[in-house]
């Protein structure tokens, strides 16, 4: 009999941990595995979407890339929940801040993820769905961030389909209803988690300040990413058994 695998992930069922951390970029996944995990094993490399399972502080953790955008995150998180029975997915990404009080290097915990539609429309709901993070995962991660000496920025993000806009007023409109930052994956992750009765959270380091036009230089980008990763890894440990 063939081992059970999903369509886009080459790992056998049982090779993926209960908590999966998902950066957008496959090279980030490799970096996390090599920098943090004990005994990392490559469990997926279809389309170069590298996934590794190892352990952190004795707890099994998988890191696998999501790719960019909701269609890509939608596929991988769906298969992780439904085929591999993953309990927790934590996106570890970057975001562009659209409020002036959200600074470069801040870490945004996406309590909710508004979106213009696209991915979530396929669920054909009779109204406008509000994608939200799992409360246990969110509150655990916020507690871990505070223990790390980080002031977590908890609030709404926008998961958008278009990185480039023809209409320059879009960010201002979302900012007027309190959205902190823009990214491109959280809403798809959240609705998939809800549909499969699983947990999800997106954490993003602010790499771009879209009000002032500032951008994180490369060395700071790495430093911000490491801080966020350590919070996500310790959250995976804190979630074991929850």
**Which residues contribute to the site for ligand HPA (CB under 6 A)?**
94-96, 163, 182-184, 207-208, 210
Catalytic residue among 167, 208, 219, 234: 208
Which C-beta is closer to ligand HPA: that of 75 or that of 202? 202
Which C-beta is closer to ligand HPA: that of 123 or that of 163? 163
| Closest separation in Å from C-beta 124 to ligand HPA | 26
> 151 catalytic, yes or no?
no
In angstroms, the CA 128 to CA 124 distance is 10
Kind of pairing between the strands at 199-209 and 88-97: parallel
Q: What is the DSSP string of 180-235?
A: -EEESSHHHHHHHHHHTT-EEEEEEEEEEETTT--B--HHHHHHHHHHHHHHHHHH
Which C-beta is closer to ligand HPA: that of 16 or that of 202? 202
Three-class SS state of 108: strand
Which C-beta is closer to ligand HPA: that of 142 or that of 186? 186
> By beta-carbon distance, which residue lies closest to ligand HPA?
96
| Closest separation in Å from C-beta 204 to ligand HPA | 7
Kind of pairing between the strands at 38-44 and 51-56: antiparallel
| Closest separation in Å from C-beta 82 to ligand HPA | 27
Three-class SS state of 137: helix
CB count within 10 Å of CB 213 equals 7
| Closest separation in Å from C-beta 18 to ligand HPA | 28
Q: List, by residue number, the catalytic residues.
A: 208
């Amino acid at each position: 009999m063939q081992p059970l695998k999903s369509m886009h992930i080459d790992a056998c069922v049982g090779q993926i941990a209960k908590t999966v951390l998902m950066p957008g970029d496959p090279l980030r996944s490799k970096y996390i595995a090599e920098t943090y995990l004990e005994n990392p094993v490559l469990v997926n490399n279809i389309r170069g979407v590298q996934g590794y399972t190892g352990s952190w502080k004795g707890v099994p953790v998988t890191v696998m890339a999501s790719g960019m955008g909701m269609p890509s995150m939608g596929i991988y998180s769906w298969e992780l929940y439904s085929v591999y029975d993953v309990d927790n997915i934590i996106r570890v990404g970057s975001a562009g801040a659209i409020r002036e009080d959200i600074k470069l290097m801040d870490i945004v915990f996406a309590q909710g993820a508004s979106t213009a539609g696209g991915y979530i429309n396929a669920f054909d709901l009779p109204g406008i769905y509000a994608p939200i993070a799992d409360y246990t995962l969110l509150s655990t991660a916020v507690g871990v961030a505070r223990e790390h000496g980080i002031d977590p920025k908890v609030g709404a993000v926008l998961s958008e389909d278009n990185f480039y806009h023809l209409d320059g007023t879009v960010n201002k409109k979302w900012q007027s209803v309190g959205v902190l930052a823009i990214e491109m994956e959280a809403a798809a992750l959240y609705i998939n988690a809800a549909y499969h009765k699983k947990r999800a959270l997106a954490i993003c380091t602010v790499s771009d300040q879209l009000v002032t036009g500032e951008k994180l230089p490369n060395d700071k980008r790495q430093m911000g990413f490491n801080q966020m990763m350590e919070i996500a890894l310790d959250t995976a440990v804190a979630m074991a058994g929850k």
